[in-house]
Amino acid sequence: EAGHQVTCLDTQKEKIEMLEKGHIPFFEPGLEPLLEKNLSNGQLCFTTNPNQAYSDADIIFIAVGTPEKRNGAVDLSYIYAAVYTIANMIKKDVIVCTKSTVPVGTNDIIKQIFQQRKPRHLKVDVVSNPEFLREGSAVMDFFLGDRIIIGANTPDAASIMEQLYLPLKIPILFTDVRSAEMIKYASNAFLATKISFINEIANLCEKVGANIEEVSYGMGMDKRIGASYLQPGIGYGGSCFPKDTKALVQLAGNVHHPFELLESVIKVNQHQHSLLVMKAKERVGSLKGKKAALL
């Protein structure tokens, strides 16, 4: 949409075939019209062939899953699989840009892999460019984002990435690679902290007779605090906050830094999930045989 020629690669043939026909295999408001428009004007294409995707690319974005392992660490196997494939397929100098959320230091390892595996005469710059898109408003967040973070260790790579994003007219912050990696985790951890905090205040309000909706509204009027993520509920969930908070605690533990605040945020959130069930039992007694409606 910004005028660049884009090729999207995926290993799932069915998904690629859907996209080639102009259909999105998931729900995201506003995305399908952009897909149809850029398919028709030739700016966008899809493939399962890595050679077609990588051989003539100037910038390669890695945007694969980084699921959580049982011990709370991040599973980087999909990241590294993509890196090995790229290293074997590139035929020109390229910037490899990590969009996936990865622990601090991951892009340094990616750089080492390229140094070992890429053709010797080619130059590969590795950049961290974390995404801050929310499911359900990703299109709006992309075009009207608060900031774009570009973590690059060379001026050339930073400049090329800047040119890529200039059409969006969104503030760009340039950092080193490790700081960009940390910004993503720190941002999600802070938002998760706001959620756990307001849930603790909500539980306290119930005990002292205060109205949490009025309390959260009054707090949010303070510009230093802000109203977003101050809505009490059954805690944070989804694909990012649980995984990223645990990963940051794991990262802190790896460098012998006890992240007690974030550990408490996770503990509060886990308790909040069960609180709804406890309240239901208080209201109706045994839940055995009861029918539940989900709105």
Per-residue CA distances from 73 to 17, 80, 113, 235 (Å): 34, 15, 21, 21
CA pair distance 61, 99, nearest whole angstrom: 6
The encoded tokens of residue 234 equal: 């059954």
Read off the amino acid at residue 149. I
* Residue 139: Cβ within 10 Å count: 17
Q: Which is nearest to 181 in space by CA: 255, 125, 101?
A: 101
CA pair distance 33, 170, nearest whole angstrom: 22
Q: Which is nearest to 131 in space by CA: 172, 173, 184?
A: 184
CA pair distance 223, 216, nearest whole angstrom: 13
CA pair distance 53, 55, nearest whole angstrom: 6
Q: C-alpha angle with apex 135: 228 to 250, nearest 5 degrees?
A: 75
Q: Which residues, 6 or more positions from 103, have their beta carbon under 8 angstroms from its beta carbon?
A: 74, 76, 181, 185, 247, 250, 251
Q: Which is nearest to 187 in space by CA: 139, 156, 157, 228?
A: 228
Is 205 among the residues known to form the active site? no
Contact predicate 90/117, CB 8 Å: no
Catalytic annotation, pick one of 45, 97, 205, 240: 240
* Catalytic residue IDs: 240
